[in-house]
Amino acid sequence: MMSLPAGGAGAYLMASWKSHAPFHWLYIITYVQLVGTHITLLDCTMTSIIVEPLRFPEGSGINFGAAVSNVDIENLTDDDFAVIRDALFTHQILVFKNQGHVSPKAQFKLTQRFDPAGGSSYGHGKTIDAKRSILHPDLKTIPHQPQVQVIGNGRVASYEGLTDFQLRHPHHKTFHATSIPEPEDLDFTRFYRWHIDAALYGELAPPVVTTLLAVKVPGGRRQICRYDDETGDVLDVPLGTTAFVSGYTMYNSLSEEDKKFARETKVEYAPHPYVWMSSAKSRSDGLGLLSQGLEVPIEELPPHTREETQILPLCWRNPVTGKLALQVHPSAVRKLHLADGTAIDDLAEVRNIVHRLQRPGISPKYVYPHDWEQGDLVLFHNRGLLHSVVGAFAEDEVRLFRQCNIAASQFPEGPLPTATVTA
């Protein structure tokens, strides 16, 4: 196995290669070493990982995602990981096909490798144990690998040390203020809740990446995802898709005035946000809550302190490209802190501002609804994308996924001073 040099003469770059297939770019990524002005292949026998950008129909606004192949997740070398890391921060979501054999341990190790200093705490830590947290019913922890959670739908006899357990795919009717009528429920659906995987309270920093492995996927049907707002927007989606949108597109869609506002403003999240929001109801597009005064009163939340409240930038900077993503968990926002030192603390106003900034970024042409196949391992950049559960399963449609993310060692970086901001 070859390891990466620390720097100096051992600088690395990626070489790309164009295949002869029409309309089809393959990026065969190989590491080469710069020695003086010459480029030399270091080791022709090392694994060459193939990173192939996802292709979308004409008119699509999706500008992220890549398929990755020719890689052994169970035995990942440092060189392999360097390629995957660079691809992840470039493409934001990587799809590895036929990975059903990958162990929970290897899934955890791949996830942890993005932030080894982050330790080994699941992204939500123990906050999901709070009885009222809306996350609690949706997760089952693998006993021998507690950073890996089992999610899905239906009754499962046994899996990885868990026996005879019930999985419940979140349904929008349990979270939205309105819902699709029962007779239409198998044909039509909604985005359940657009979010970032993050505790957003205490010392748990938002995970850098999340991995999702599709162990069992019920086949076939498609549904129409309705926004059910004044736009009439709809999106044709595969059953039980996970929908992704780009925080970079969300930022780039803003006017110059709004970009400036987004760069300069910080978001204060509610303490214990998943308990706080547990009695409130969502907008029909899943992008934040309605303001009906239904949140759990602050004084009735579990013990909390001002110091443990998280105040994060609206825009998070990509560590490789320097680009800015508009990254806000819309259901957990409570206040906005402005550049002039004042704060907006009227909850309805805060939510309206955040929704106005984010809504263009979830327009149908920007949404990537991943069409899950058994064995798909999806690795996504949790600090550059928002995602949402979608769909409604029938009682007997069994689906089993493994999810892993790790609370990060550092909080996300905000924008650089204006003069050096990358557009």
Interface contacts to Fe ion, rule CB under 5 A: 197
Q: How far is the CB of 127 from Fe ion (least distance, A)?
A: 14
Q: How far is the CB of 401 from Fe ion (least distance, A)?
A: 11
Taking every pair of Cα atoms in the chain, the longest distance, rounded to a whole number of angstroms, is 69
Q: How far is the CB of 210 from Fe ion (least distance, A)?
A: 6
Query: What does DSSP assign to residue 105?
Result: H
Q: How far is the CB of 382 from Fe ion (least distance, A)?
A: 8
Which residues have a Cβ under 8 Å from the Cβ of 272 and sit 6 or more positions away? 127, 130, 133, 201, 301, 302, 304
Q: How far is the CB of 193 from Fe ion (least distance, A)?
A: 9
Tell me how crowded residue 76 is: count the other CB atoms within 10 A of its CB: 16
Q: Which is nearer to Fe ion, 238 or 415 (CB)?
A: 238
Q: Which is nearer to Fe ion, 197 or 397 (CB)?
A: 197
Q: How far is the CB of 288 from Fe ion (least distance, A)?
A: 16
Q: Which is nearer to Fe ion, 49 or 386 (CB)?
A: 386
* Closest residue by Cα to residue 289 from 304, 302, 305, 273: 273
Q: Which is nearer to Fe ion, 169 or 337 (CB)?
A: 169
**SS3 label, residue 20:** coil
Q: Which is nearer to Fe ion, 384 or 415 (CB)?
A: 384
Q: How far is the CB of 388 from Fe ion (least distance, A)?
A: 8
| Sign of the C-alpha dihedral computed for residues 291, 295, 298 and 302 taken in this order | negative
Tell me the sheet residues that pair with 35: 38
Q: Which is nearer to Fe ion, 172 or 337 (CB)?
A: 172
DSSP string, 55-76: ---TT------EEEES--GGG-
**CA of 57: how far to CAs of 60, 177, 296, 303, 365, in Å?**
6, 34, 44, 50, 10
Which residue has the closest beta carbon to Fe ion? 197
Q: Which is nearer to Fe ion, 24 or 126 (CB)?
A: 126
- Output b/e per residue, 343-355; b: 16+ Cβ within 10 A: eeeebeebbebbb
Tell me the sheet residues that pair with 38: 35
